[in-house]
């Protein structure tokens, strides 16, 4: 019959008191990671909470939303996804310099609607290249659920980088 006041050490497999935090036989610390690192755990939780609150503020505050800023600041430069891809394919450095700190409005047909490996939603716009697309990482995914393949859409953005695909961060569907 098992004794309810004992447990097995996960390191040396000997029976030890259930409330033991250090094994009396092998002297290993039996506490979980959080109990072993309370300060680091608190810092991580505070960091995650701060980022969550910051994200909620950005999404819900119309003055932070770039779509609203366009109306106040400047009219965006209008370009199709195909033309943007051609500009980048011709000279990536010139394309980066030309679009740096500028608001662009990109329109074209939806190629696909996905989530990346970190579960962030994105929409790919067709470029007629057999491999590469313009990949729009969505800041607000609420409109993405209603999109369909080959539907024409317009996205607004202010920052990009290229890794095969042209990756556009913080897009808003207009």
Which residue ranges make up each domain of the chain? Answer: 6-60, 70-173
pLDDT grade for 90, boundaries at 50, 70 and 90: confident
> Quick one: CATH architecture of 70-173?
Beta Barrel (2.40)
Mean pLDDT to the nearest integer, 146-163: 73
Mean pLDDT to the nearest integer, 147-174: 74
Model confidence at 33: pLDDT above 50: yes
What torsion, rounded to 10 degrees, do the Cα atoms 92, 81, 168, 135 define?
-110
Model confidence at 21: pLDDT above 60: yes
* Token digits of residue 78: 């209008």
- pLDDT given at position 57: 63
Cα–Cα distances in Å, from 142 out to 16, 74, 139, 154? 53, 25, 9, 15
Nearest Cα neighbor of 149 from 121, 128, 130, 123 is 123
- pLDDT given at position 145: 79
Total-model pTM: 0.49
Model confidence at 80: pLDDT above 90: no
CB under 8 Å to 39, separation ≥6 — which residues?
none
Sign of CA dihedral 79, 81, 87, 88: positive
């Amino acid at each position: 019959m098992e004794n309810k006041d004992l447990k097995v050490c996960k390191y040396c497999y000997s029976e030890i008191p259930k409330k033991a935090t250090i094994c009396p036989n092998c002297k290993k610390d039996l506490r979980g990671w959080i109990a072993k690192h309370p300060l680091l755990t608190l810092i991580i939780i505070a960091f995650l909470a701060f980022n969550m609150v910051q994200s909620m503020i950005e999404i819900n505050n119309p003055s932070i939303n770039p779509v609203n800023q366009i109306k106040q600041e400047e009219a965006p430069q209008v370009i199709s996804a195909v033309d943007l891809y051609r500009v980048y394919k011709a000279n990536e450095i010139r394309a980066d310099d030309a679009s740096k700190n500028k608001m662009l409005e990109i329109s074209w047909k939806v190629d696909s609607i996905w989530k990346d490996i970190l579960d962030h939603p994105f929409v790919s716009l067709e470029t007629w290249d057999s491999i590469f697309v313009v990949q729009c990482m969505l800041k607000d995914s609420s409109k993405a659920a209603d999109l369909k393949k080959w539907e024409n859409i317009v996205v607004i953005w202010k920052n990009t980088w290229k890794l095969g695909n042209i990756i556009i961060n913080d897009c808003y569907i207009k």
